[in-house]
């Protein structure tokens, strides 16, 4: 079973409910066969955009193109889009086989075609032996696979997943992420999924779009968004970031001076593409900051700041410290090894920031 790959393009899409703007001038292109995530907090507009692609709600401005054809006025049932909802919505009184066959029966396919297609898709999701069970006799992960099989069997042009893994426990979520990705690769089906879970988006999607307040903030691969966020929101939402507010005071040939509110002036190596003089924020990740005893010999290539540990959390593979430097609190994550003593709250320490990992954000 290998399905057609289609592209999807949103051009200048805006949608309001009354005076509330839910989507504002969204421009986005999803490539054929891509596994694409819409990531954002509650109320960011990601589910609205997904439902709009399915045809359940209508934009007031802009165009929605599938393989170059505008489908704006096409009703949901004529779009040939498959959608898996958060709660799976399986029929409890029907067997797994009948649940999966439902869409094909509705389409009046022949008995032989139904037998062949349902058999193939149950094989694909690893549920061939469960065909005669009812949904209530299955685990959450198996129900999820039935919902996927039921959606994929009608051979949709697009597969839409709304928070597909949020009902599962953490271990199962990780396993199902792998399964989803493998299934999507086998089918080659253009897939768009909505999630508020950055880890889920980063581990499964080829690319993702980060939305906030109905505005598309940034689109790209996980590493691009993580390493080069375009603004404060993306820096803080994709991963964890330290943000120092302040201003770029001067940019010289070799160095750059950044004045931080509540901390003073920092002198950093001038980046290849230096920021403009003026208000900005400095962003860097907690694991890129090393922590040392105050009087220890240190690596001179880092920028060292003296501070005091405010809190210490042991998280298994690493320990997370909150350190007060001047009037600013910075977070640092240190890998944990057996026998490594933690810094106690109140400890006098130095933090070393790796200058090559620092990003200047002007918005």
Same domain, residue pair 17 and 124: yes
Per-residue pLDDT of 6-30, as tens digits, reads: 999 999 999 999 889 999 999 999 9
Q: Which two tokens stand for residue 218?
A: 């940034």
Same domain, residue pair 214 and 308: no
Which range in 17-21, 75-79, 310-314 is most confidently predicted, on average pLDDT?
310-314
Q: Is residue 3 part of a domain?
A: no
How far is Cα 175 from Cα 172, in angstroms, rounded to an integer? Answer: 5
Q: How many residues does the chain have?
A: 363
Q: Is residue 107 part of a domain?
A: yes
Based on the structure, what is the number of domains in the chain? 2
Same domain, residue pair 42 and 189: yes
What is the pLDDT at residue 2? Answer: 55
How far is Cα 175 from Cα 197, in angstroms, rounded to an integer? Answer: 15
Same domain, residue pair 33 and 162: yes
CA–CA–CA angle 162, 165, 166 (5° rounding)? 85
Q: Is residue 92 part of a domain?
A: yes
Q: Give the rounded percent of residues in the chain with a pLDDT score beyond 90.
A: 66
> What is the span of the domain harbouring residue 145?
8-235
Reported as a pLDDT band with limits 50, 70 and 90, residue 180 is confident
Does residue 298 surpass a pLDDT of 70? yes
**282 close to 316: Cβ distance less than 8 angstroms:** no
Does residue 294 surpass a pLDDT of 60? yes
CA–CA–CA angle 173, 208, 224 (5° rounding)? 110
Per-residue pLDDT of 27-50, as tens digits, reads: 999 999 999 999 999 999 999 999
Per-residue pLDDT of 269-282, as tens digits, reads: 998 888 999 999 99
Q: Is residue 2 part of a domain?
A: no
- Strand-pairing partners, residue 268, are 256
Per-residue pLDDT of 43-74, as tens digits, reads: 999 999 999 999 999 999 999 999 999 999 89
Number of C-beta neighbours around residue 314 at 10 A? 10
Q: Is residue 290 part of a domain?
A: yes
How far is Cα 245 from Cα 222, in angstroms, rounded to an integer? Answer: 25
Instruction: From 192, 210, 235, give the residue that closes a domain.
Output: 235
Same domain, residue pair 138 and 38: yes
How far is Cα 190 from Cα 183, in angstroms, rounded to an integer? Answer: 12
**91 close to 98: Cβ distance less than 8 angstroms:** yes
* Residue found by looking up tokens 């005076």 in the block: 19
Same domain, residue pair 196 and 335: no
How far is Cα 309 from Cα 350, in angstroms, rounded to an integer? Answer: 10
Same domain, residue pair 28 and 164: yes
Same domain, residue pair 200 and 77: yes
Instruction: From 199, 217, 235, give the residue that closes a domain.
Output: 235
Does residue 109 surpass a pLDDT of 70? yes
Q: Is residue 69 part of a domain?
A: yes
Q: Is residue 186 part of a domain?
A: yes
What is the pLDDT at residue 1? Answer: 58
Decide the pairing of beta strands 303-314 and 318-325.
antiparallel
What is the pLDDT at residue 93? Answer: 93
Does residue 118 surpass a pLDDT of 60? yes
Same domain, residue pair 15 and 121: yes
66: exposed, middle or buried (Cβ count in 10 Å: 0-12, 13-18, 19+): buried
Average pLDDT on 289-315 reads 90
Instruction: From 235, 256, 284, give the residue that closes a domain.
Output: 235
Average pLDDT on 201-221 reads 95
Decide the pairing of beta strands 242-251 and 278-284.
antiparallel
How far is Cα 238 from Cα 220, in angstroms, rounded to an integer? Answer: 12
Per-residue pLDDT of 124-173, as tens digits, reads: 888 999 999 999 899 888 888 898 899 889 889 999 999 877 777 777 78
What is the pLDDT at residue 39? Answer: 95
DSSP string, 269-307: EPPSSPPPSEEEEEEE-GGGEEEEETTS---TTSEEEEE
What is the pLDDT at residue 319? Answer: 95
Does residue 191 surpass a pLDDT of 70? yes
Domain with 255 in it: what CATH number? 2.40.50.100
Predicted TM-score (pTM) of the model is: 0.88
Q: Is residue 307 part of a domain?
A: yes
| Averaged pLDDT score across all residues of the chain | 91
How far is Cα 228 from Cα 243, in angstroms, rounded to an integer? Answer: 14
Q: Give the rounded percent of residues in the chain with a pLDDT score beyond 70.
A: 99
Does residue 297 surpass a pLDDT of 90? no
């Amino acid at each position: 079973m290998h399905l057609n790959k289609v592209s999807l393009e949103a051009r200048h899409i805006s949608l309001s409910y009354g005076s509330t703007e839910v989507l504002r001038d969204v421009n986005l292109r999803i490539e054929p066969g891509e596994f694409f995530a819409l990531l954002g907090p509650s109320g960011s507009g990601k589910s609205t955009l997904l439902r709009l692609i399915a045809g359940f709600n209508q934009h007031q401005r802009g165009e929605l193109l599938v393989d170059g054809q505008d489908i704006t006025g096409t009703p949901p049932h004529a779009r040939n889009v498959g959608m898996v909802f958060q709660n799976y919505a399986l029929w409890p009184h029907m067997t797994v086989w009948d649940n999966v066959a439902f869409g094909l029966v509705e389409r009046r396919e022949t008995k032989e075609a139904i037998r062949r297609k349902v058999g193939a898709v149950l094989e694909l999701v690893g549920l061939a032996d469960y065909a005669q069970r009812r949904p209530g006799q299955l685990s959450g992960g198996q129900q999820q696979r039935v919902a996927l099989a039921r959606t994929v069997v009608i051979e949709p042009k697009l597969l839409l997943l709304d928070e597909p893994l949020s009902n599962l426990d953490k271990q199962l979520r990780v396993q199902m992420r792998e399964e989803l990705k493998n299934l999507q690769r086998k089918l080659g089906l253009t897939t768009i999924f909505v999630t508020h879970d950055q880890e889920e988006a980063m581990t499964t999607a080829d690319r993702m779009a980060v939305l906030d307040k109905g505005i598309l903030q940034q689109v790209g691969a996980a590493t691009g968004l993580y390493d080069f966020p375009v603004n404060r929101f993306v820096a803080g939402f994709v991963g964890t970031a330290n943000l120092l507010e302040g201003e770029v005071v001067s940019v010289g040939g070799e160095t750059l001076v950044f004045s931080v509110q509540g901390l003073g002036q920092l002198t950093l190596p001038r980046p290849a593409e230096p920021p403009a003089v003026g208000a900005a924020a400095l962003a860097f990740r907690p694991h890129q900051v090393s922590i040392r005893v105050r009087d220890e010999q240190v690596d001179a290539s880092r920028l060292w700041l003296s501070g005091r540990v405010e809190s210490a959390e042991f998280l298994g593979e690493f320990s997370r410290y909150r350190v007060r430097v001047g009037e600013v609190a910075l977070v640092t994550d240190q890998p944990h090894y057996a026998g490594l003593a933690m810094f106690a709250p109140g400890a006098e320490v130095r933090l070393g920031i790796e200058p090559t990992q620092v990003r200047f954000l002007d918005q």
